[in-house]
Amino acid sequence: MEKFGIITNADKDQNMSVTRTIEAYLEKHNKVWTKDWQHFKEMDVLLVLGGDGTFIQTARQYVKFGVPLLGINLGTLGFLTAVEKDHVIRALDCLMAGDYEVESRMMLTGRVIHKGQTIAEAGAVNDVIINRTGFSRLVELKLWVSQSLVDIYAADGVIVSTPTGSTGYNLSAGGPIVYPENDVIIVTPICPHSLTARSIVVSGSQSVAVEIGRRRKTQQEEAMVTYDGQTAVRLETSDRVEIVRSAERVKMIRLKDSNFYEILRNKLGNV
């Protein structure tokens, strides 16, 4: 690799010390680097310094460029930012030597249907979450997979996740961990009012729809859909969120001396 884009969360990189270390190392090796987003599409890689939130925001914003991303963890857990800041020089050496692989990760697209009309649409790297708001104690959620009714939840909400997002909120809600390059969609209810409600995993070629039901005849249900926790749309009774595999895919770099299961083991503390 010869050309490097650098994206830094300044709140995470105090005094920009890690960023400056990277810049100096690239200059020492006569590599091109830029922080100007207008030139990102010309780069061989985008180095993303921050936490998983920074990585997801960058992926959503620049996925259209088709440039692979490498996350450098300046946060806490960091499943997506797999390179720890103490190993950044080794990671740069691997990139320069071609000692890496590029993974292709699926995304989701979610449309909000209100009274038969699409009122919002957005993409997600991790998940699309429909959850209760306001004074609603529980919300009724009708789950459909490819036009077939699967279940009706009385719950705090439901998470529709990519394999990449399976280690996020989905994991905290008791959902399964899925290998990130699989082509599936994971659906996990949040605190369901039932002992039998469980996560389901469906093919990435299928569609998932969640409809807001009415638990009280005289009261509109209050709910919200969020995309990666960064974009939100309010929902009402009978609104429907239709979720499919996106046409866009995120390219992520994995260094050859690491793998998903090693990262998983280290991040979960089972070492």
Each of the 271 residues of the chain gets a pLDDT tens digit; together they read: 999 999 999 999 989 999 999 999 999 999 999 999 999 999 999 999 999 999 999 999 999 999 999 999 997 777 888 899 899 999 999 999 999 999 999 999 999 999 999 999 999 999 999 999 876 678 999 999 999 999 999 999 999 999 999 999 999 999 999 999 999 999 999 999 888 889 999 999 999 999 998 766 545 668 999 999 999 999 999 999 999 999 999 999 998 877 788 878 877 775 4
Quote the CA–CA distance of 267 and 100 in Å, as a whole number: 21
What pLDDT sits at residue 67?
A: 97
What pLDDT sits at residue 260?
A: 83
What pLDDT sits at residue 41?
A: 96
84 is written with which tokens? 């720890």
52 is catalytic: yes
Q: Which of 13, 36, 44, 52 is catalytic?
A: 52
102 is written with which tokens? 């590029």
What pLDDT sits at residue 12?
A: 93
Quote the CA–CA distance of 40 and 65 in Å, as a whole number: 8
What pLDDT sits at residue 271?
A: 45
What pLDDT sits at residue 218?
A: 45
